[in-house]
Structure 1
Amino acid sequence: MTLNRRHLLAAGLAAPALLKLGTGSAQAATTLKLSHQFPGGSIDEGDFRDRMCRKFAAALKERSKGAMEVQVYPGSSLMKTNAQFSAIRKGALDMTLYPSPYAGGEVPELNIGLMPALVPSYAQALAWKNAPVGRKITEILEAKGVILVSWVWQAGGVASRERPLLTPEDAKGMKVRGGSREMDLMMKQAGAATLSLPSNESYAAMQTGACDAVLTSSTSLISFRLEEISKALTSGRERSYWFMLEPIMMSKIVFSGLPKDQQDLIMAVGAELESFGQEGAKADDTRVEEVFGKAGAKVVQLDEPTLGKWRDIARDTAWKDFANKNASCAELLKLAEKVA
């Protein structure tokens, strides 16, 4: 891959190409940087999102016979969490595994990736990719300079410092981290105060009392050790109003500069790893109950009538607000509601 001076200056942190010098000729070897906010581990142990990134790196290196390498930077160690989406759009970062609603300030359509009570199950979430709503999201991202490499959905729950946050009535007077503008709208309507912060800052917020309850994925509830400071967990294992799209994404600037065979390999490996991602998310929906229960927290489940109450609030607040943003958001919501 050949980079011009403008791209190198803009990229700074990104290093999509290195040269291996042979006898009499230069052979391009692509090195990509993949950043995420979650705790690091190994290819076999730890947060499944970090493991997924490491498996992606290993598969790419093996199947390209060393022509491609991916360096994984966990824990926002390469750049701050909220900067990663802008960076891949500009070509300053090659790849990221990133919660889609974190990018809602730049691309409002991406807030549909954490629309409360819109996605009721993994089966429906997985159906998005090949449905019109998935194709529309892919088109929107590409127009903004982002390639969607691997779809990952996660269910989530609520960790609370004191009492469970189960019904809308429970939210009154609580300070809640929802994870997206739309989730916050639903919580505010239920009577909560909301605060916006990345999930990797949740522990400190709960520890200091700035936050009473954190809504996030089952995996993040475990990885950020929220059981240490929680007395209650609302599990997302059986049903949840919290399903988030958290894909692996790549800079279109960087992707477009790669040879076709490398582009194809990136997309193939990304698609193959989606099943690993979903299995990891589902396993953590069960494991989070075990982790919190062992720590002494009260574990509660949503029943269908309670989920219906949350859905009614979401439809009148978050869904309506999202659809009124622009014609593209309105179209996305209609397409999402059609997914069986």
Structure 2
Amino acid sequence: MIVTRRNLLGSAAIGAGLITSPAVLRAQAPKVLRISHQFPGGTLESGDARDRICRRFGHELEKRTGGSLTVQVYPGSSLVKTLAQFSAVRKGAVDLSLVPLSYAGGELPEANIALMPALVTNYDQAARWRTAPVGERLAKTLNDKGVMIVTWVWQSGAVASRVHPILVPSDVKGVKIRGGGREMDLVLQASGAIVSTMPSSEMYIGMQTGALEAAVSASTSLISFRLDELTKNLTAGRGRSFWFILEPLIISKATFEALTPEQQRAVQEIGQELEAFSFAAAKADDEEITKIYAARGAKIHELTADHIQTWREAARDTAWKDFAGKNASCAELLRLAEQVQ
């Protein structure tokens, strides 16, 4: 055989291909996205609805991307501490999180609109936010901070009480209560309550030790964190409530921009499709909580339109006024939110 320069170059090229092929294979390996949240873990079909949203998102994302993207869910604040999750996503340290947006109010005042007392009072109104000017403005504000909303998740709130029923602001006078967010706390404080700022994951121990006498939280949380074991009176949030919280599935903008166009499209499409499931699951929990708590002996109380109007009047002079006074952006968000009826 005559060895020519062409033979040598060809052999070198083949050899180089063999040497680099492991790197090529590594480049084709699935990209793993990590989702962190504070709620109890479960499965695709059972457990806390917010955990199921995360797992359904991951399951569907892997299917639609042909396995090029996979998701690992870290429940119970096992990856990132509860109050640090928004910041971790914003900085790109975590890919996604399903988080009560009001927890980010300390670093982003606009986020407090996600739990503004008596601003959103029913699911139909909540569902209109995503495509309304207020939703577009909020999404842009988050985007500018490095965070994108994947799924708009709204939850109605209920009140678990070890003392008397909590139906109107005056009922909280002298009561040690957890409100869930800065603006809600302002209304409670103005009404004479002794306010605690603990996250929902700490409510049980608070009620158990006497640090709390009542807690306002999403129906799903009041189920998952087992406050039925300690509650005498439950103010149900089914149908309507003065307490609605936006707990979106969010993704780091840096993570999203590193995806291919096809992967980005899958993330957005699946996220929007999950909105219907999130609303259905939240409504189901609003009904389920009344059965669980009643079975434990708690008395169930329903909110009326008059009750909610009383909360709204109290909120206008406290929480709403405080929020609008933070900056021009907050004032504009509140103005736009009031347009959504």
For the aligned pair, the TM-score class normalised by the smaller chain equals over 0.9
In the alignment, does 2:104 pair up with 1:93?
Answer: no
Partner of 1:50: 51
Partner of 1:175: 176
CA distance in 2, matches of 1:329, 1:22: 49
Partner of 1:166: 167
**CA deviation string 1:248-285 (max 9, x = no partner):** 00111111111111111111110111100000000001
Partner of 2:266: 265
Partner of 1:108: 109
Partner of 2:152: 151
Q: Work out the percentage of aligned pairs sharing the same amino acid.
A: 55
In the alignment, does 2:193 pair up with 1:192?
Answer: yes
CA distance in 1, matches of 2:315, 2:253: 34
Query: What are the equivalent positions in structure 2 for 1:64-75 lying under 5 Å apart?
Result: 64-75=65-76
Name the CA shift for 1:208/1:27 in 2 (closer, same or farther; >3 Å): same
Partner of 1:210: 211
Partner of 1:15: none
**CA deviation string 1:213-234 (max 9, x = no partner):** 1100000000000000111101
Query: What are the equivalent positions in structure 2 for 1:303-314 lying under 5 Å apart?
Result: 303-314=304-315
Give the C-alpha shift of residue 147 in structure 1.
Answer: 0.9
CA distance in 2, matches of 1:244, 1:266: 23
CA RMSD of aligned residues (A): 1.3
Partner of 1:16: none
User: Is this contact kept in 2: 1:238–1:301, CA < 8 A?
Assistant: no
CA distance in 2, matches of 1:51, 1:23: 34
In the alignment, does 2:143 pair up with 1:142?
Answer: yes
Q: Please report the TM-score for the alignment, with normalisation by the length of structure 1.
A: 0.92
Q: Which has the larger radius of gyration?
A: 2
CA distance in 2, matches of 1:40, 1:24: 33
Give the C-alpha shift of residue 28 in structure 1.
Answer: 4.6
Provide runs of 4+ in structure 1 moved above 2 Å: 20-26
Partner of 1:34: 35
Q: For this pair of structures, how many residues does the alignment match?
A: 321
Structure 2 residue runs without a partner (length 5+): 1-20
3-state SS, counterpart of residue 31 of structure 2: strand
Name the CA shift for 1:136/1:245 in 2 (closer, same or farther; >3 Å): same
CA distance in 2, matches of 1:324, 1:141: 19
3-state SS, counterpart of residue 244 of structure 1: strand
User: Is this contact kept in 2: 1:21–1:27, CA < 8 A?
Assistant: no
Name the CA shift for 1:256/1:25 in 2 (closer, same or farther; >3 Å): closer
Partner of 1:325: 326
Q: Please report the TM-score for the alignment, with normalisation by the length of structure 2.
A: 0.92
Structure 1 residue runs without a partner (length 5+): 1-19
3-state SS, counterpart of residue 310 of structure 2: helix
Give the C-alpha shift of residue 195 in structure 1.
Answer: 1.0
